[in-house]
Amino acid sequence: MIKNEVLLRSVAPMSVLAAGAFASGVLAVATGLAYGLALVLLTGWGLRRSGRGAFGPADWITFARAVLVGCAAELIAAGGHQLWWLVGIVAVALAMDGFDGQVARRTGTASEFGARFDMEVDAFLILLLCIQVSRTLGLWVLAIGLMRYAFVAASWALPWLTAPLYPSMARKTVAAVQGVVLLVAVSGLLPWALSFALVVAALASLVWSFGRDTVWLARHRVQAEPGRIVEITRATLRRPHGPSWRGHNQAA
């Protein structure tokens, strides 16, 4: 069963390469090959790291979205002559977003791997759209696509940034707006000035969202630190060296 799944996941590079051949261009084909191989290798690594042997139903939906994102990457690498193909592919990928989460909840197969997989696909798609839009509006647009990666990089120096965040509809709305606004800007349906204003507004909302979450995490860290020390101390008194204490400490 697992071997069959690996074979199915390995079909992704061929699908993406086929799109690259349609887009034409050595850069497009090279992009498809690199993306397809990275997709297979990274998903395999993620499954092993999470202790899971295979995809769940929702993961296959995310994987299908990831293949579409790879096709978009090839079209962007090929240039702007395939604009409507790019708009169509991205529109489908954005429309599919959220289906994987619903399937995971309804089938009881939600997992940390699935959530992370979905997040990475979304982040890379936004970065790709930023690259395309920056060709007409300027390199400043890349700030939208790079902000999440900058946040992750900052968490290497400030581990408290990796703490779980509270549920927020505003955060979800801001994230959804980025994809829609960037797709509209890519399509060229609106005048340049209006597209510029919309993307500026999207960037401003994203800065606000990241800023609010960062402030909350900083305050939460300060408030939770004394309680965390007490919690760890009590756990230490109960079981100084046992594996359960180590797991509790990591969760805290």
Q: Judge whether 76 and 132 are in contact, CB under 8 Å.
A: yes
Q: Is the pLDDT assigned to residue 161 strictly greater than 80? A: yes
What type of residue is 170? A
C-alpha span between 200 and 179 (Å, rounded): 13
Tokens representing 179?
């994809």
Q: Which residue has the higher pLDDT, 200 or 101?
A: 200
Give the residue among 97, 91, 87 at the shortest CA–CA distance from 186: 87
C-alpha span between 229 and 208 (Å, rounded): 32
Select the highest-mean-pLDDT range: 40-44, 98-102, 120-124: 120-124
Q: Judge whether 13 and 33 are in contact, CB under 8 Å.
A: yes
pLDDT for 5 equals 64
Q: How confident is the model at residue 251 (pLDDT cuts 50, 70, 90)?
A: very low
Reduced to 3 states (helix: H, G, I; strand: E, B; else coil), residue 16 is: helix
Tokens representing 158?
């400030």
DSSP state of 110: -
Q: For the chain, what is the mean pLDDT?
A: 82
Give the residue among 157, 78, 162, 87 at the shortest CA–CA distance from 119: 162
pLDDT tens, position by position, 166-184: 888 999 899 999 999 999 9
